[in-house]
Structure 1
Amino acid sequence: MKIHRDLNDFYAHNPVLTVGTFDGVHLGHRKIIARLHDLAKAINGESVIFTFDPHPRKIVAPAESNLRLLTTLDEKIELFEQSGIDHLIVYPFTPEFAQLSYEQFVEQILVGQIHTKSLVVGYDHKFGRGRQGDFEFLKGCADRHEFQIEKLDVLLVNESNVSSTKIREAIQIGDFETANVFLGYSFVLHGTVVEGQKLGRQIQFPTANIEASDPDKIIPGYGVYAVQAKVQNKTYRGMLNIGSRPTVNRNADHRSIEVHLFDFDSDIYGEHLELIFFRKLREEQKFESLDALKEQLAKDKANTISFFQAIQK
């Protein structure tokens, strides 16, 4: 996959293209990508995804503070590469670009620079200033500029339409059974191990405190989770607590993230860590004593071990 940060030297043979933010690169997005591959093969062309950095809402609504993303740019790039796309355009979303009408975007960029042969959009595609770039509008553009256009129907999984919004909602309540099915993979959070209060060491459950790699990355809701963690090129099972932190930190909604890794005893301050979420074990609780907390953590560990043993069978 070739990655393009601008269009100065861009070239694709008979480009078959789709446009969007693709947050999550979920099953609905993959349906579009599969269609790109089919159409490109039919015309001896190349598949192209056109996306943006930063996310458009950071430019068009800079005062908003509730942007929560399923995937960072690096995570999206990795998922696109796995999908076998020929070209990924990561276009700078600037205030000047935001002022383009969709018709200008089509004429100047999709046709004028990329020379699009075929455009594929999702069932709910709307883009551009005033959200004018719906399918009916694009059909007119396609007729004028002589490229093909196709709209795909909604993807249903378990009789529910797959969308980034529904996945975010599931993650916020800790419903990873739904979120991971809709994503087509297990939700991942990348971060760095930072100094914490070290309370866990006093009760034989030491934890690594995590600062997410992107402040806009969605953090799951409060509670205790069964996770896997990749650190120093090894994978460990563990249990993770997400709670509230009285002091401001870099994580979305200032949530604290603490993970206890099983069969692990190393100093990893400053290390990069990848967390893979599987199941919510329970809600966050307050305990009357450290002994009561320690007793519950022992139960959480037993439940986590049982969960992983069950999914291995």
Structure 2
Amino acid sequence: MWVTSSLTNALTPTAIALGNFDGIHLGHQEVIRPILHRSKNQEEVRSFLSYPLSVPADTQTPISSADRPEHIYSTVVTFNPHPQEFFTGKKRSLLTPLDEKVQQLQALGVDQLIRIPFTWNLASLSPQDFVEKILIQQLCCQQISVGENFCFGKQRTGTAKDLKAIAASFDIPVTIVPIYARGGDRISSSAIRQALENGDLQRAQELLGRPYTLTGTVVKGQQLGRTIGFPTANVAVPAEKFLPANGVYAVRVFVQGVDNHLGVMNIGVRPTVSGTHPSVEVYLFDWSGDLYGETLTVQLEKFLRPEKKFASLDELKAQIQLDCTAAKEELQGNTK
């Protein structure tokens, strides 16, 4: 898939899904579906769990137009930074950092991701100018798909219906997609974040359409786990990755995208050993080798308990044993 932050480097003409798409949840997938130029069988869709790609902008191999004459490129257009981050100056944690977003868009069959730099000039464009100058003149847009709550243009004055009316004057069709879960609740990235903060992994998975995952490289920690018989892998996830509630989880772990292992994970500051910084530590039930430097993808299956400070390492050790038993019962009862 071609990834670029430059409008001049974009592959054109385009069929565009427009939005921020943090999470690539089920609602986002419905917005993207109308622009895909080919259907995919379930067997063809790559697992969302394989380890992430390294995707510096403009370095992936573009699709050859010679191989696809008159091809319209299915394109997801998003903004960097997120407009809310731009206006507030506050960093946003992400459900899907860039590597994960690219991986999941590829699995859906998207040809191109364009991350438009969000600047004051862009923020000052009227809805009419945004459509004309960005979507039509620079991206040669042939088709557009957005969620029904999409807003754009100066001070977010343009709505999805406005977009449809403006695009119609250029004979460009716009699909407006309602984004609701089966129960009738609206699917949103904020609802997924709330579910994860509450330890409600089932709800998060219902909205995402897949389990929530954390991917990172194993780095050296304090190595205290091995002193009590539970050596853990300290996983360094991207700084911008959204972390769910502190506590202990039953997890499935993929090493370099393969080898499904069962385990427990702790997210938190480790108060029993006077920790001060949040960490992600994973204990694998069936692993005895060296994991340093390996890339792990941790799939969260069940929230077992909140983080707690214990009176001694012996109490902590006893609780970890109980956590392992609970995790095994949960995971082995839900084998995939």
Q: Which is further off, 102-111 or 128-137?
A: 128-137
**Corresponding residue of 2:206:** 181
Match of 1:297 among 289, 295, 320: 320
**Corresponding residue of 1:128:** 153
TM-score, normalisation: structure 1: 0.87
What secondary structure, in the 3-state scheme, does the structure 2 residue paired with 1:277 have?
strand
- Percentage of matched positions with identical amino acids: 38
**Corresponding residue of 1:114:** 139
**Corresponding residue of 2:183:** 158
Aligned length: 302
Q: Which is further off, 179-188 or 127-136?
A: 127-136
1:47 and 2:67 correspond: no
- 1:39 and 1:102, CA in 2 relative to 1: closer, same or farther beyond 3 A? farther
Match of 1:211 among 216, 236, 251: 236
Confirm or deny: 8 A CA contact 2:248 2:306 kept in the other structure.
yes
Q: Which is further off, 296-305 or 259-268?
A: 259-268
Q: Distance in 1 between matches of 2:120 and 2:182?
A: 37
1:310 and 2:333 correspond: yes
**Corresponding residue of 1:251:** none
- 1:87 and 1:209, CA in 2 relative to 1: closer, same or farther beyond 3 A? closer
Q: Deviations over 1:3-54 (max 9, x none)?
A: 34323253435x32121110000100111122223799xx985422112333
What secondary structure, in the 3-state scheme, does the structure 2 residue paired with 1:308 have?
helix
1:260 and 2:287 correspond: no
Q: Which is further off, 142-151 or 185-194?
A: 142-151
What secondary structure, in the 3-state scheme, does the structure 2 residue paired with 1:206 have?
coil
What secondary structure, in the 3-state scheme, does the structure 2 residue paired with 1:296 have?
helix
What secondary structure, in the 3-state scheme, does the structure 2 residue paired with 1:160 have?
coil
Cα RMSD (Å):
2.5
Q: Deviations over 1:188-230 (max 9, x none)?
A: 11222233222211210111222212x2210111110011222
Confirm or deny: 8 A CA contact 2:123 2:155 kept in the other structure.
no
- 1:226 and 1:138, CA in 2 relative to 1: closer, same or farther beyond 3 A? same
| Runs of at least 5 residues in structure 1 that lack an aligned partner in the other structure | 249-253
**Corresponding residue of 1:60:** 87
Q: Distance in 2 between matches of 1:148 and 1:235?
A: 44
Higher relative contact order (CA 8 A, sep 6+): 2
Q: Which is further off, 196-205 or 171-180?
A: 196-205
Cα distance, 1:138 vs. partner?
A: 1.6
Q: Distance in 2 between matches of 1:197 and 1:44?
A: 54
Q: Which is further off, 141-150 or 73-82?
A: 141-150
| Runs of at least 5 residues in structure 2 that lack an aligned partner in the other structure | 40-69
1:12 and 2:37 correspond: no
Confirm or deny: 8 A CA contact 1:219 1:255 kept in the other structure.
no
Match of 1:98 among 123, 132, 144: 123
Q: Distance in 1 between matches of 2:187 and 2:162?
A: 24
**Corresponding residue of 1:222:** 246
Q: Which is further off, 144-153 or 74-83?
A: 144-153
Q: Deviations over 1:64-115 (max 9, x none)?
A: 24x1211011111111111112332232334443333333221111011222
Match of 2:299 among 276, 285, 292: 276
Q: Distance in 2 between matches of 1:257 and 1:123?
A: 37
Cα distance, 1:247 vs. partner?
A: 6.9
